[in-house]
């Protein structure tokens, strides 16, 4: 049985890939999903059975604007912001998951960041394998650890709601919200260099990119008139816009000899340059593109730092430009990529974090981040020029990609499950 968080597409994509690989090996697969991706899973014929259980409460009204970059110092900020301070909802959802687990009777549960299913599995007595990044592991560094909170800051806490539900269910309390993401075994879809666990951890193993191409993906085309292509997948509809579509249109106009693969809402890209060059055939803009082939055909990748896109780009040996990460988990993961010389991170601002009161997260709680973006088209253009003109970026991307492949893929992960 598989469960996952229904935020970005990375979690559901990993779930589909694992489900397919498991079914190819003859396993019976059940998936616990919210409504958001239920249709996608059914269209992909990912499982034998589906259990529709929402994985987040209804969020309360905040009364303050969301930052373009949120520097969360712990996962509790995300959890409280999403409404997980409601212990009754946590308890009710966990009980529904218990019913699903008892109905399906799995041998193991694979959890990709679903917040309640570990408690449900503990009640039923089914082992859990957690797919978690190092910042979601109790042995790893906390989010935003490179910039600790001021000593007078009151940080959000979500342990009480989980522990109230766990007490009613007869389970011991937790002292770190990240426990809910882990499993009896935790698997990190990365490498120690890219996503380190500096303090040691429980039984944690690195598994590289889940769904890595099984064979080398050869470049097949350069878009019409281009010296090379650039792949762009920047966008998160739940975050405030920083006008990326307009900035990219300026870059496309200023780099007429570069082709662009752009994944995004076609209606959102209304600039003249992109429209004209789509007609000419030097820009491809679609809601969905086969990522592996488009990235293989490109010299650089633009993204907001999501794990799946970054790991795929590196596995294919392509340098990455992280444009305006939305929160500190993306920034945390990409810091290692930048340090390794395989990419460039363009933050929204180089200035100090702003502080704003967040009463919905608890009494006296403040959140930190940037509420405006200083990014310009020149920042994007200069970064593209830098990573494509300096061969060292591609060299280090290929080096990291070889390491990712060496750590395995979905088949390696299934071998671990079978051994478990």
Closest C-alpha to 94, from 160, 36, 169: 169
Q: Helix, strand or coil for residue 125?
A: coil
Report whether pLDDT(194) > 90: yes
Q: Helix, strand or coil for residue 420?
A: coil
Residue 143 contacts residue 76 (beta carbons within 8 Å): no
pLDDT, one tens digit per residue, over 215-248 is 788 889 999 888 999 999 997 656 678 899 999 9
In this structure, what token pair is assigned to residue 154? 């009151």
pLDDT of residue 7: 83
Report whether pLDDT(200) > 70: no
pLDDT of residue 418: 73
Indicate the average pLDDT of the chain: 92
Q: What percent of the chain has pLDDT over 70?
A: 96
- For 324, which DSSP code? S
What are residue 2's phi and psi, to 5 degrees? -120, 145
User: Do the bridges between strand 366-370 and strand 128-131 make them parallel or antiparallel, or are there none, so unpaired?
Assistant: unpaired
Residue 113 contacts residue 107 (beta carbons within 8 Å): no
Average pLDDT over residues 286-300: 94
Q: Is 188 exposed, middle or buried, given 0-12, 13-18 or 19+ CB atoms closer than 10 A?
A: buried
Closest C-alpha to 107, from 203, 53, 184: 184
Q: Give me the half-sphere count of Cα atoms (radius 13 Å) on the Cβ side of residue 406.
A: 9
Mention every residue, 6+ apart, whose C-beta is less than 8 A from residue 142: 73, 74, 75, 135
Report whether pLDDT(59) > 90: no
Query: What are the residues facing 128 on neighbouring strands?
Result: 109
Torsion sign over Cα 279, 280, 284, 290: positive
CATH fold, domain 2-211+408-419, is Rossmann fold (3.40.50)
Q: Helix, strand or coil for residue 252?
A: helix
pLDDT, one tens digit per residue, over 72-124 is 998 899 899 899 999 999 999 999 999 999 999 999 999 999 999 999 999 99
Which one has a higher pLDDT value, 299 or 217? 299
pLDDT of residue 9: 83
pLDDT of residue 199: 62
- CA of residue 178 relative to chain centroid, distance: 16
**Dist. CA 389–CA 46, nearest whole Å:** 42
pLDDT of residue 236: 62
Torsion sign over Cα 247, 249, 252, 253: negative
Write down the domain spans for the chain.
Answer: 2-211+408-419, 228-404
Torsion of CA 112, 130, 324, 154, to 10 degrees: 110
Instruction: Give the N- to C-terminal CA distance of the chain in Å, as an integer.
Output: 14
Q: Which strand (E) or helix (H) includes residue 286?
A: strand 283-286
Q: Do domains 2-211+408-419 and 228-404 have the same CATH topology?
A: yes
Residue 304 contacts residue 325 (beta carbons within 8 Å): yes
pLDDT of residue 350: 92
Least confident of 53-67, 257-271, 361-375: 53-67
pLDDT of residue 196: 87
pLDDT of residue 238: 60
pLDDT, one tens digit per residue, over 314-347 is 999 999 999 999 889 888 889 999 999 999 999 9
pLDDT of residue 237: 59
Q: Helix, strand or coil for residue 226?
A: coil
Closest C-alpha to 314, from 242, 228, 406, 418: 406
Query: What are the residues facing 343 on neighbouring strands?
Result: 320
CATH architecture of the domain covering 228-404 = 3-Layer(aba) Sandwich (3.40)
What are residue 138's phi and psi, to 5 degrees? -60, -15
Least confident of 115-119, 169-173, 177-181, 323-327: 323-327
- Output the DSSP codes for 178-225: GGGT--SEEEESS-TTTS--TT--SSEEE---TT--SS--------TT
């Amino acid at each position: 049985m598989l469960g996952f968080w229904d935020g970005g597409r990375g979690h559901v994509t990993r779930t589909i890939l694992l489900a397919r690989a498991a079914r190819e090996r003859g396993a019976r697969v059940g998936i616990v999903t919210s409504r958001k991706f239920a249709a996608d899973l059914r269209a992909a014929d990912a499982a034998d059975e589906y259990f529709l259980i929402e994985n987040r409460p209804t969020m309360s009204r905040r009364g303050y604007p969301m930052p373009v970059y949120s520097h969360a110092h712990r996962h509790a900020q995300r959890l409280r912001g999403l409404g997980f301070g409601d212990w009754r909802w946590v308890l009710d959802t966990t009980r529904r998951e218990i019913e699903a687990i008892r109905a399906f009777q799995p041998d193991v549960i694979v959890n990709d960041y679903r917040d309640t299913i570990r408690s449900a599995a503990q009640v039923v007595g089914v082992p859990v394998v957690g797919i978690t990044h190092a910042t979601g592991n109790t042995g790893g560094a906390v989010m935003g650890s490179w910039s600790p909170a001021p000593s007078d800051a009151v940080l959000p806490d979500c342990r009480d709601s989980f522990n109230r539900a766990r007490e009613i269910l007869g389970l011991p309390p937790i002292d770190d919200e990240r426990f809910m993401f882990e499993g009896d075994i935790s698997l990190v879809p990365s490498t120690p260099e890219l996503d380190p666990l500096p303090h040691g951890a429980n039984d944690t193993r690195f598994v590289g990119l889940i769904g890595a191409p099984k064979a080398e993906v050869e470049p097949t085309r350069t878009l019409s008139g281009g010296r090379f292509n650039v792949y762009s997948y920047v966008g998160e509809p739940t975050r405030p816009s920083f006008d990326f579509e307009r900035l990219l249109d300026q870059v496309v106009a200023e780099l007429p000899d570069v082709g662009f693969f752009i994944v995004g809402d076609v209606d959102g890209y209304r600039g003249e340059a992109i429209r004209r060059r789509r007609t000419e055939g030097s820009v491809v803009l679609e809601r969905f593109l086969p990522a592996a082939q488009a990235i293989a055909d490109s010299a650089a990748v633009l993204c907001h730092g999501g794990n799946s896109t970054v790991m795929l780009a590196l596995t294919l040996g392509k340098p990455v430009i992280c444009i305006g990460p939305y929160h500190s988990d993306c920034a945390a993961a990409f810091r290692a990529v930048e340090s390794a010389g395989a990419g460039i991170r363009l933050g929204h601002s180089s200035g100090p974090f702003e502080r704003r009161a967040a009463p919905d997260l608890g009494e006296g709680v403040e959140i930190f981040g940037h509420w405006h973006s200083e990014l310009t088209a020149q920042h994007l253009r200069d970064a593209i020029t830098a990573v494509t003109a300096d061969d060292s970026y591609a060299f280090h991307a290929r080096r990291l990609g070889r390491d990712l492949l060496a750590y395995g893929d979905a088949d390696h992960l299934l071998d671990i499950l079978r051994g478990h």
